[in-house]
């Protein structure tokens, strides 16, 4: 009973127990006193408290044990599962080659209330585990244990046996020694500076950089990551500051060609030009988005961890836009490296706005230097930084294991006692609680380009879409149709769910698109859909007999169409329905005012971005099985049309649609009498058109002969279900921003005059 009492009392009162029973804490308080963190008065008060409260504590503990004897002690769970981690670096592998030492290390870390280890699995161009991918490349493996065992497997197994998370760490990211087998085998995978230099100086010495924009490099890194996740059923994966690229790099032939193809200009000679920085940073971000999707598809609750430098440095000098990664919802935890000796400088870094923002949404920790072989760090410095981080609700990651106490200015026992005071309570982590996150922004703007990736279309708005992890391609944004339809060559190498269902779509100009319906991941800019969406892979185009001069007649390559209307009749549906969070609730098309500049697609409707719009309602349609959300008839009724020379004189029984997919505007009459003396075909300048909706918009145009600007066609269709149908075409978007609200079934117009 006596032994049980003492054990239970230490569990029930962990804070007082550490304060009163551990002699090492006197040394800790004295050290903090010297740093000015605590006063000498607090040290004297500690001894007085210990002397006077010890009997009372014993009495409280005795009765508590009697009441709680039948219950197991509760493990303290801190908000957002506080990070208490340590990196297991390549320097530590002299220890971890030995099974018994691995077991002892994990046991000791658990005893000191650590909860996470980050064992390195990729550095110096080699894996720290037996990799089938590297074996296929003929690259040797060096890191076996003393008994020939897989060291990473042993670390993960022993960590789990102690209740620790094991998150493999890809230390080198895109960094690789120039002399490595990987660099020698794939010189085309390396990027370079403007002067042709292939290396830079880093903490690891002189290194080269794999080109993060090259699809083969991306696929290689992805394969390694997925191999680790599947081979070890790892709790997650971590990427640090080397999953990036120094700003001076990116002047290799592949990247120059890609940038020129996408922007129309070669990269600027100034590597720090803002547009050039953003383009490269966005490419790395897009890769991380796709990598995140791959990891989550294999193990949804795996922790996608990032350990970068502070943001200004990371983005401006390493092209690592990690704050955007957090906002995109692809980062599950962040441990920012802050290796500073000066406490004031340390505090300045951990109180930066991006850290304050990040810790509101995910577990956030600070990487603290525990020491290097040639630069030991005192425990006093370590503890002062720990206190500063913990006071601000931040977790801790120590770099690295061996410097915790094996290579240090103080004796190992003294260091271990001090670390025991750092984490006085147990705080285990549980990845079952790591659920998918939504982006933390409510709206985002994507550019609409005036030209497609393929084809000869004169006018239109084109949105960059990456399908199945393919390269972003500019496809026609069509507000008058629904569903994504692209040629086979736009698809990447991500998994595709085939249906075997061949579907046919007939466009308004008579073009017939045929091809298989598949499901796959889609990304708009940097925003991925929350799940695979239906896509028509078009393999055949032809014209209907009624309209032999359709777009398929020219033989121009098909540039793809993304239909974003909410009047779906069947699959495929508008893929914007599957955007994450608030981004799926609607969008705004902002034209380019007939200039050659980019327009914008604003995803996500907010109170702010809806200001100034005048709203009209749609009518709700019956839902269709397989199409998520509400379905609407997005044609507007009670539209007034005046067409000079016809019988349409402010006729307010017309129906209209705002359609970016139509180059030339159209008025369709059911009755020839409404057309009067006008003949079907292209209207002339005498046939002024006015389309209006009371209090909503008032649009007029003088017909001419310029495609997409002022050409207006007249059609007479007795078989039409509508008396008068108007499609003002893309020119309407030169004068109005147009809002599509799929939640409330409304369409808004905001004049840009």
- Say whether both 230 and 145 belong to one domain: yes
Q: Going by C-beta distance under 8 Å and a sequence separation of 6 or more, which residues neighbour residue 608? A: none
- Say whether both 196 and 116 belong to one domain: yes
627: nearest Cα among 516, 744, 483, 505: 483
Q: For residue 620, tell me if it sits in a domain.
A: no
DSSP result, 436-469:
----S-S-EEEEEESS-SSS--SS--EEEEEETT
pLDDT band at 49 (very low <50, low <70, confident <90, very high): very low
- Say whether both 671 and 535 belong to one domain: no
Q: Report the distance separating Cα 223 and Cα 493, nearest Å.
A: 12
pLDDT band at 203 (very low <50, low <70, confident <90, very high): confident
Which of the 8 DSSP states describes residue 249?
B
Sign of the CA dihedral 292, 296, 299, 303?
positive
- Say whether both 329 and 392 belong to one domain: yes
Contact 159, 104 (CB under 8 A): no
The average pLDDT across 137-155 equals 94
Residue 752 pLDDT:
85
Q: For residue 624, tell me if it sits in a domain.
A: no
Q: What is the pLDDT of residues 78-102, one digit of tens each?
A: 346 899 999 999 999 888 999 999 9
507: nearest Cα among 544, 452, 556: 544
- Say whether both 543 and 640 belong to one domain: no
- Say whether both 238 and 126 belong to one domain: yes
Q: For residue 7, tell me if it sits in a domain.
A: yes
- Say whether both 565 and 471 belong to one domain: yes
Residue after which a domain boundary falls, among 38, 68, 98: 68
Query: Domain range holding 53?
Result: 2-68
Overall pTM > 0.85: no
- Say whether both 234 and 117 belong to one domain: yes
Residue 491 pLDDT:
96
Q: Report the distance separating Cα 709 and Cα 640, nearest Å.
A: 21
Residue 3 pLDDT:
34
CATH at residue 504: 2.40.70.10
The average pLDDT across 452-459 equals 83
Contact 661, 481 (CB under 8 A): yes
User: 579: helix, coil or strand?
Assistant: coil
Q: Report the distance separating Cα 134 and Cα 124, nearest Å.
A: 13
Residue 80 pLDDT:
66
Q: Going by C-beta distance under 8 Å and a sequence separation of 6 or more, which residues neighbour residue 67? A: none
Q: For residue 57, tell me if it sits in a domain.
A: yes
pLDDT band at 421 (very low <50, low <70, confident <90, very high): very high
Q: Going by C-beta distance under 8 Å and a sequence separation of 6 or more, which residues neighbour residue 664? A: 707, 708, 711, 712, 713, 729
pLDDT value at 182 more than 90: yes
pLDDT value at 153 more than 90: yes
The average pLDDT across 162-186 equals 97
Q: For residue 77, tell me if it sits in a domain.
A: no
pLDDT value at 35 more than 60: no
Angle, helices 215-232 vs 151-161, to 10°: value is: 50
Q: For residue 605, tell me if it sits in a domain.
A: no
Q: For residue 695, tell me if it sits in a domain.
A: yes
Mean pLDDT of the chain: 89
Q: What is the pLDDT of residues 558-600, one digit of tens each?
A: 999 999 999 998 899 999 999 998 999 999 999 998 888 889 9
Residue after which a domain boundary falls, among 433, 467, 499: 433
CATH at residue 102: 3.20.20.80
Contact 721, 636 (CB under 8 A): no
Q: Report the distance separating Cα 379 and Cα 383, nearest Å.
A: 6
Q: For residue 623, tell me if it sits in a domain.
A: no
Residue 53 pLDDT:
45
- Say whether both 483 and 569 belong to one domain: yes
Residue 151 pLDDT:
97
Neighbouring-strand partners of residue 444: 603
Residue 41 pLDDT:
43
pLDDT band at 508 (very low <50, low <70, confident <90, very high): confident
- Say whether both 120 and 59 belong to one domain: no
Which of the 8 DSSP states describes residue 625?
T
Could you tell me the two tokens for 671?
């009755």
- Say whether both 419 and 448 belong to one domain: no
- Say whether both 546 and 655 belong to one domain: no
Residue after which a domain boundary falls, among 571, 596, 621: 596
Q: How many domains does the chain have?
A: 4
Q: What is the pLDDT of residues 590-631, one digit of tens each?
A: 999 888 888 999 999 999 999 999 999 999 999 998 899 999
Contact 19, 25 (CB under 8 A): yes
Buried b (16+ CB within 10 A) or exposed e, 200-223: eeeeeeebbbbbbbbbebbebbbb
Q: What is the pLDDT of residues 223-268, one digit of tens each?
A: 999 999 999 999 999 999 999 999 999 999 999 999 998 888 999 9
């Amino acid at each position: 009973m006596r032994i049980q009492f003492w054990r239970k009392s230490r569990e029930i009162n962990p804070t007082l127990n550490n304060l009163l029973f551990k002699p090492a804490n006197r040394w800790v308080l004295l050290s903090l006193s010297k740093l000015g963190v605590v006063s000498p008065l607090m040290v004297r008060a500690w001894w007085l408290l210990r002397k006077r409260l010890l009997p009372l504590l014993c009495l409280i503990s005795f009765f508590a044990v009697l009441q709680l004897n039948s219950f197991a002690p509760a493990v303290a769970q801190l908000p957002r599962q506080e990070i208490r981690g340590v990196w297991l670096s390549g320097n530590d592998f002299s220890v971890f080659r030995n099974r018994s030492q691995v077991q002892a290390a994990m046991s000791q870390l658990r005893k000191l209330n650590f909860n996470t280890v980050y064992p390195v699995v990729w550095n110096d161009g080699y894996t720290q585990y037996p990799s089938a991918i590297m074996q296929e490349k003929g690259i040797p493996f060096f890191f076996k244990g003393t008994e020939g065992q897989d060291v990473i497997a042993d670390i993960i197994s022993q960590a789990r046996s102690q209740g620790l998370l094991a998150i493999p760490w890809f230390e080198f990211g895109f960094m690789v020694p120039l002399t490595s087998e990987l660099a020698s085998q794939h010189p085309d995978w390396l990027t370079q500076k403007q002067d042709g230099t292939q290396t830079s100086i880093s903490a690891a010495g002189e290194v080269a950089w794999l080109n993060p924009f090259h699809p083969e490099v991306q696929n290689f890194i992805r394969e390694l990551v997925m191999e680790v996740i599947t081979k070890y059923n790892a709790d997650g994966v971590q990427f640090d500051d080397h999953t990036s690229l120094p700003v001076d790099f990116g002047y290799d032939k592949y990247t120059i060609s890609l940038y020129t193809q996408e922007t129309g200009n070669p990269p600027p000679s100034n590597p720090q030009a803002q547009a050039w920085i953003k383009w490269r940073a966005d490419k790395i971000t897009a890769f991380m988005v796709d990598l995140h999707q791959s990891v989550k598809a294999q193990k949804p609750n795996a922790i996608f961890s990032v350990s970068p430098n502070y943001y200004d440095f990371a983005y401006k000098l390493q092209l690592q836009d990690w704050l955007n990664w957090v906002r995109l919802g692809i980062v599950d935890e962040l441990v920012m490296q802050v290796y500073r000796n000066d406490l004031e400088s340390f505090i300045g870094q951990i109180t930066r706005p991006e850290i304050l923002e990040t810790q509101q949404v995910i577990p956030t920790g600070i990487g603290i230097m525990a020491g290097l072989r040639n630069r030991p760090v005192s425990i006093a410095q370590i503890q002062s930084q720990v206190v500063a981080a913990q006071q601000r609700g931040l977790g801790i990651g120590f770099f690295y294991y061996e410097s915790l106490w094996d290579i240090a200015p103080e004796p190992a026992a003294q260091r271990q006692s001090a670390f025991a005071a750092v984490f006085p309570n147990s705080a285990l982590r549980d990845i079952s609680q790591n659920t998918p996150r939504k982006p933390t922004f409510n709206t985002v703007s994507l550019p609409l380009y005036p030209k497609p990736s393929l084809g000869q279309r004169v006018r239109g708005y084109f949105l960059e879409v990456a399908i199945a992890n393919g390269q972003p391609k500019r496809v026609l944004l069509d507000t008058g149709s629904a569903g994504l339809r692209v040629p086979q060559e736009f698809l990447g190498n991500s998994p595709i769910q085939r249906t075997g269902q061949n579907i046919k779509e007939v466009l308004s100009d008579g073009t017939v698109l045929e091809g298989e319906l598949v499901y796959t991941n889609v990304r708009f800019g940097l925003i991925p859909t929350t799940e695979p969406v239906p896509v028509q892979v078009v393999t055949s185009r032809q014209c209907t007999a009624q309209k032999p001069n359709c777009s398929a007649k020219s033989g121009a390559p098909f540039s793809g169409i993304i239909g974003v209307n909410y009047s779906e009749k069947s699959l495929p549906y508008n893929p914007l329905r599957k955007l994450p969070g608030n981004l799926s609730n609607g969008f705004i098309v902002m034209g380019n005012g007939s200039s050659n500049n980019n327009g914008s697609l604003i995803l996500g409707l907010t109170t702010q971005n809806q200001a100034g719009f005048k709203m009209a309602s749609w009518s709700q349609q019956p839902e269709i099985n397989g199409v998520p959300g509400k379905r609407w008839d997005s044609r507007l009724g009670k539209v007034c049309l005046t067409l000079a020379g016809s019988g349409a004189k402010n006729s307010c029984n017309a129906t209209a649609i705002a359609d970016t997919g139509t180059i030339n505007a159209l008025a369709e009459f059911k009755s020839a009498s409404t057309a009067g003396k006008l003949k079907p075909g292209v209207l002339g300048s005498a046939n002024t058109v006015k389309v209006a909706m009371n209090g909503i918009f008032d649009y007029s145009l003088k017909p001419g002969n310029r495609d997409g600007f002022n050409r207006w066609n007249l059609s007479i269709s007795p078989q039409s279900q509508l008396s008068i149908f108007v499609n003002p075409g893309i020119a309407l978007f030169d004068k109005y921003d147009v809002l599509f609200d799929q939640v409330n079934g409304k369409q808004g117009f905001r004049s840009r005059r």
